[in-house]
Structure 1
């Protein structure tokens, strides 16, 4: 896909304008975690990419962990407000809550959401998460092969999300179609159709809970108060839409990358078979080495950051893929050491730290536990060349054999 060349602002030095391969919506057969990341880390700590933001527009790229933490934490200078296009593209006024709200207002929403996703709260889902994992694995175990993305990684988190939200499990295929339209579709019209469909579904579910409350998350949200008032319809939609976006593709993405690593590294696969208690540490190391998520901030005022002049309206890419391979933070970052126990930023940092991280890690842990217990030594199908989605980096397909 070709994007028009943008006009580079006057405050951006020509020496800091660099090509950038991680373009949203593109695919590649190159390894996005290998030579690409190594080459970027040989350059300036902060640089300007002509095509980085969704739609192929420019953004500053922040590659070092130290700088990422500063961007995450300095919400006065680097705002999360309105970075998502979804509401605008369908002419709505809701905002993803709480990720597109800056402090101090952010805390008022986060305070009622946090209790829903504590480790203790997520423990209640353990049995059902495990049952879903086993159900999917048993469907292909005796076949000796599976296409991991479509037969496990995409649908398994959707089932967990539907369980979490008390939505009908029969919606699994429909949710997968909507998720693909929202996160991997470059056709804006098709993306807008997916947004409208998701929002219509959520509004219907909200109205159902109003009429007949249940013991579930939407009913809980209908009962909470922020600044002495109940949430309005836009806030309820934004809250629910954010859970939809955050709870599906990010988990699928990480699972795809983790199982690709295990399929290519039989010694690590066997280590986790022999030492299942080490799986949580292994997940953290693989999340560092294969960090997949890029989020964006908008500069709110003229500032100098990392020796670079930024102006109001500049987009700033918080690139966890590059941060995970930062040689200043992680010695020999290209080596995956399952016992490293890294302080990665793949779940974010500061006030916008991922609220669903405990659920996501539980899903990933259970997936690996059950897979290595039930499936013998597995590998990538011989002759298969892995292709990756960029933006949210994930294998397009991952055929495994055993």
Structure 2
């Protein structure tokens, strides 16, 4: 977002003035046209060599998929020690800096990262997710059948937010009936302001503390029991690290998956020809899911410089932050042919919606399973759907892109 505020006095002396681009991830142009604004920002960054500097947020901003892949693959230079590289809305503290534990494994760099990833990766392996398929299908179908004969629904509350919440409670060994309450806490954590945001974090920590203590006393067959009673690098997982793992998985389960589900159904509701093509050719659903991940990467991510360096011809200093938009790099025209075209038969879809390198998302198999099964089951049970006439979807910008609501409707048969 362009602003009339003069940031020239705040510009670090090593930053060339021609690289300045001022924008706000939470308000203005990005809030009004999130994907268009982020793509235009990327275009300006690419035109200037791949990097620009935002004095408002005090961050470098990267444009281009290959450049971002370089960042992912150099954790010794671009550290993940703070969530999203410590990028936060002005006036709001970085979440990972105020929590009393580490958000494991995302804020760890090698070699500590590998120790914890060896514990967590098998818990989300493809074969483990396939064993849970009957539960996933039942959860999705039960949610859809509550509205399939109504002719309309607000799909964030009825499906894209509900299913991840129920899946999360089952995997964590938490009471299923509290899933919506947990999702509300998570929404406040991501979208709220203090003191509500801090109160939500406290509620999540309280619930996780009780869960960790219970899993130590009475281990079950749930994911958190596996974590709490495991060893890492020859040492038992301590309670603080168990809380950090639980808090991160809580956020990812109840925010990122919900957002990916919401964007894929918003796309189908607003692009009837794409929806028709996928309905007539259900074998294209996995490819359709990948295209939505590419086009609508939901996370604006970041890293922190560990040392002074020159990166792509630009001087950068230790402690500085660098960010990028997953949705924009997924529309990089130097990598993807017709980048803004939805093509479920696209080959070589090298998007980075799940990251890359050592921090590639451990839950990607779970996320893909949920995205594919949800589209399959909704299209089996609900006729072609659209945004309800006279209503609008309500998007949310920030560090993660999401929808507050998506009202859809369809014609009932007979």
Q: Which of 357, 360, 363 in structure 1 is aligned with 2:364?
A: 357
Q: TM (normalized to structure 1)?
A: 0.93
Query: Which of the residues 296, 321, 332 maps onto 1:326?
Result: 332
> How far apart are residue 166 of structure 1 and its match?
1.6
- Structure 1 residues 160-239: aligned runs within 5 Å: 160-185=167-192, 187-239=193-245
The aligned counterpart of 1:380 is 387
2:85 aligned with 1:76: no
Find the residue that maps to 1:249 and give its secondary structure. Answer: helix
Q: Which of 1 and 2 has higher RCO (CA within 8 Å, sep 6+)?
A: 1
1:258 equivalent among 260, 264, 272: 264
Query: What TM-score comes out, normalization by structure 2 length?
Result: 0.90
Q: Matches of 1:267 and 1:353 in 2, distance apart?
A: 33
Distance 1:109 1:319, change over 3 A: same
RMSD: 2.0
- d(CA) in 1 for partners of 2:264 and 2:250? 22
Cα deviation code 1:208-265 (max 9, x no counterpart) = 1111111122221223222221011111100111111111211111111111111112
Q: Report the more deviating stretch, 312-321 or 236-245.
A: 312-321
1:315 matches 2:318: no
Contact 1:181-1:190 at 8 Å conserved across structures: yes
Question: 1:284-324 deviations in whole A, cap 9, x for unaligned?
Answer: 11111111111211011111112211101111113212101
Instruction: Work out whether residues 69 and 356 of structure 2, in 8 Å CA contact, stay in contact via their aligned partners in 1.
Output: yes
8 Å Cα contact 2:294-2:352 kept in structure 1: yes
User: 1:95, CA displacement in angstroms?
Assistant: 0.4
Q: Look up the SS of the partner of 1:164 in the other structure.
A: helix
- Structure 1: gaps of 5 or more residues: 52-56
Please point out which of 286, 289, 304 is paired with 1:283.
289
Partner residue of 1:48 out of 35, 48, 53:
53
Of 86, 95, 98, the match for 1:86: 95
Tell me how far apart the structure 2 counterparts of residues 169 and 340 of structure 1 sit (CA, whole Å): 38
Equivalent runs, 1:23-42 vs 2, <5 Å:
23-24=25-26, 30-34=32-36, 36-38=38-40, 40-42=42-44
Q: Which deviates the most, 274-283 or 26-35?
A: 26-35
Aligned twin of 2:304: 298
Secondary structure (helix, strand or coil) at the match of 1:127 reads: helix
* Structure-1 separation of matches of 2:343 and 2:275: 12
Q: Distance in 1 between matches of 2:250 and 2:97?
A: 17
